[in-house]
Structure 1
């Protein structure tokens, strides 16, 4: 049931997912689904918990920065596969066991890496805000392929006077239109800057 619900949400969006549609996809009456979930919010919580299973977690034998980088890259990939989950992943009032295990492991990696409890809380919030924000921005971009990106860039250049917006024109010409440009490559660049800053904050905190 969860697998089918996730497939429907991936394909058509979370707004289109109803108990009736899910029942039809499974070939059962919608009322029979209530033998497995109490209501739609309960279904959504279970779907989110299933999504957290897909995220690669930090292992206990690697340093915090390596573990959190791996986890963040994986989390971004999972949210990209399931864009409907971006607005639900941390909004549930009854997180499931996979969600709780995930959060506990991330906090454990930070604490083992020398972060104090307050700094671990700051780091967790900051990293996840970056991940969610990037995925949401990426989802709203008006292009996906390199060809679509180039077409949009040429259209932009044709419609903005370079003498009035020189830096925009420069960015498009010297960055976006460079062969192989991929907006997704901005994610690891920003993530590494963020992790570097957190390491400096951790070291400064430890030296007090």
Structure 2
């Protein structure tokens, strides 16, 4: 093992190796703990050696996002636009799930790099190739938002409650009392939260099936886009109709 580590450290440093190491380090320690100094230690070099390949941490993060995009499958061919978009989004979601830091990195990018613009260009192209007007595609891209990258803001966040304890750590009597209090003050929330079966292993909400919820919303959007496309929708006419 020591010999392998030494051999790795003697391998000439280049941008690809720096980015690959940064992705692996972020996978291990998380987005917040990633730093140029820690990355240099991982590579067995002084921090200044990194700056020959990435100008700063912002450029490092840009490169990591580009690496993530490289893991997303290209658009499939010989199928309808809806299947093409759906498969691409779910591929992006799988890539995002492999790298827990990715969402924060994507959301932290204030300037769109060539890699991000290329991905957006390709994504818009799937709708245009399906016969969508530029007008409808503009609004579709707004509507699909973060789902283009495989994520969405979750409605129920299990970290937002008054206590960090998980439901399993709360005695049954206390859970019942808490639920009664919730039902009295927030009857609608309790009604929708208890109105469907839950997955106890889920990472979203208190047992919501996050993958199902993601695909449910994605399919609703795609069905809506299809209906507007078939109706020949335009934003100009929609604005006139509202007057």
Work out the number of aligned pairs and report it.
203
TM-score, length basis structure 2: 0.69
Say which of 171, 174, 178 aligns to 1:159: 178
* In structure 2, distance between residues paired with 1:125 and 1:92: 17
Structure 2 residue 85 is matched with structure 1 residue 58: no
* In structure 2, distance between residues paired with 1:93 and 1:184: 29
Structure 1, unaligned runs of 5 or more: 143-147
Give the stretch that moved more between structures: 99-108 or 18-27: 99-108
Q: How does 1:13-32 map to 2 (within 5 A)?
A: 13-32=30-49
* In structure 1, distance between residues paired with 2:110 and 2:49: 24
Q: Partner of 1:124 in structure 2?
A: 141
Change (3 A) 1:110 1:3: same
Which structure has the bigger radius of gyration?
2
Answer yes or no: is the 8 Å Cα contact 2:65–2:105 preserved in 1. yes
Give secondary structure in 2 for the equivalent of 1:16. Answer: coil
Give the stretch that moved more between structures: 76-85 or 50-59: 76-85
Q: How does 1:63-142 map to 2 (within 5 A)?
A: 63-89=80-106, 91-97=109-115, 99-130=116-147, 134-137=151-154, 140-142=157-159
Q: CA deviation at 1:126?
A: 1.5
Q: CA deviation at 1:14?
A: 1.9
TM-score, length basis structure 1: 0.79
Say which of 160, 179, 189 aligns to 2:216: 189
Structure 2, unaligned runs of 5 or more: 1-17, 160-164, 202-207, 238-243
Answer yes or no: is the 8 Å Cα contact 1:75–1:131 preserved in 2. yes
Change (3 A) 1:172 1:10: same
Give the stretch that moved more between structures: 158-167 or 2-11: 158-167
Name whichever structure is richer in helix by fraction: 1
